[in-house]
């Protein structure tokens, strides 16, 4: 059985406070995009994991796909499986590729092994794997608060825009990104900004990670500037980076040598 985990972008991201447990409370809008990995499970004599595509930056046993499998095994009986993952979503990009793979693994196993787990329980299980994982269970535009695990569905659509993703060969760890941010309450509620036309987002919709990360890695800020110079109606870093996305009203020719570049139509 096969499925195709998709990436997400962040439309705005406010770091609003640090929690007693050391994590941070955020406010952001997750939006799914059709940049996809491929994930397959088949019956086997013993459980194994094989990855292809974009070169991994972690050991196979540390992959969130296998963590998701082992978390589900704690409560449910699963048969031995051969797991195959083809990576098309780049690592360290702020696109949620690893979280998507884990969440889709939970959904895939739920169907494959006929476990009949509801979405609510799947979201709770996904939260134990990673903060962004619960979003990908329902995989619909949502306002995310808390650590990113409290989700409120939104009637938001970016259809009609061309989406471009540009990721330089730069990696920013999540820990480093948070160390460069001073938590604060936003000037305007995110839902108020998102309700405005996309053409007005440039002046109001911000990602709090950008200020510190652009100083640390100017190349990321230059990509955002270039997207605007090429006609983007809105551009932003996604998550804690290092990818930057741009929304355009028409297809355009972009050239970013040495960078991962993807274009597609939001669904």
pLDDT in tens, 167-198: 999 988 888 988 999 898 888 889 999 999 99
Confidence check: pLDDT of 61 > 90: no
pLDDT band at 58 (very low <50, low <70, confident <90, very high): confident
The catalytic residue positions are 8, 132
Q: Is 241 exposed, middle or buried (0-12, 13-18, 19+ CB in 10 A)?
A: buried
Confidence check: pLDDT of 160 > 90: yes
pLDDT band at 23 (very low <50, low <70, confident <90, very high): confident
Average per-residue pLDDT for the chain = 94
163 has which bridge partners?
247, 264
Is pLDDT larger for residue 200 or for residue 23?
Answer: 200
Q: Note whether 15 and 26 are within 8 A (CB).
A: yes
42 has which bridge partners?
82
- pTM, entire model: 0.95
Confidence check: pLDDT of 267 > 90: no
Report the Cα 123 to chain-centroid distance in Å: 16
Confidence check: pLDDT of 237 > 90: yes
Confidence check: pLDDT of 57 > 80: no
CA torsion through residues 192, 99, 94, 165, sign: negative
Nearest to 164 by CA among 233, 103, 114: 233
Give percent of the chain above pLDDT 90: 83
Predicted pLDDT of residue 165? 98
Is pLDDT larger for residue 19 or for residue 157?
Answer: 157
pLDDT band at 147 (very low <50, low <70, confident <90, very high): confident
Predicted pLDDT of residue 230? 96
The arithmetic mean of pLDDT across residues 96-104, rounded, is 97
Predicted pLDDT of residue 187? 84
Residue 23 CA: distances (Å) to CA of 148, 175, 199? 11, 10, 33
Predicted pLDDT of residue 60? 79
- The string of pLDDT tens digits covering residues 117-142 is 999 999 999 999 998 999 999 999 99
């Amino acid at each position: 059985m096969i499925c195709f985990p998709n990436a997400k972008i962040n439309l705005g991201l406010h770091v609003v406070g640090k929690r007693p447990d050391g994590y941070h409370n955020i406010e952001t809008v997750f939006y799914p995009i059709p940049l996809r990995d491929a994930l397959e499970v088949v019956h086997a004599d013993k459980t194994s994991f094989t990855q292809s595509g974009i070169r991994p930056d972690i050991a196979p046993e540390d992959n969130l796909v296998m963590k998701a499998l082992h978390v589900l095994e704690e409560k449910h009986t699963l048969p031995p499986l051969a797991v195959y993952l083809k990576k098309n979503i780049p690592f360290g990009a702020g696109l949620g590729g690893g979280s998507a793979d884990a969440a889709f693994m939970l959904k895939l196993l739920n169907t494959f092994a006929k476990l009949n787990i509801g979405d609510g329980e799947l979201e709770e299980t996904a939260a134990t794997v990673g903060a962004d994982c619960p979003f990908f269970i329902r995989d619909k535009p949502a306002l995310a608060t808390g650590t990113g695990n409290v989700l409120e569905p939104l009637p938001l659509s970016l259809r009609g825009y061309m989406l471009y993703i540009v990721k330089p060969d730069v990696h920013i760890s999540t820990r480093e990104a948070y160390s460069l941010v001073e938590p604060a309450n936003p000037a305007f509620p995110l839902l108020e900004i998102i309700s405005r036309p996309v053409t007005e987002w440039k002046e109001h919709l911000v990602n709090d990670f950008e200020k510190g990360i652009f100083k640390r890695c100017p190349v990321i800020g230059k990509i955002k500037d270039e997207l605007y110079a090429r006609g983007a109606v809105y551009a932003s870093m996604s998550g804690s980076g290092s990818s930057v996305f741009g929304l355009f009203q028409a297809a355009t020719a972009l050239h970013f040598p040495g960078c991962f570049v993807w274009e597609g139509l939001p669904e």
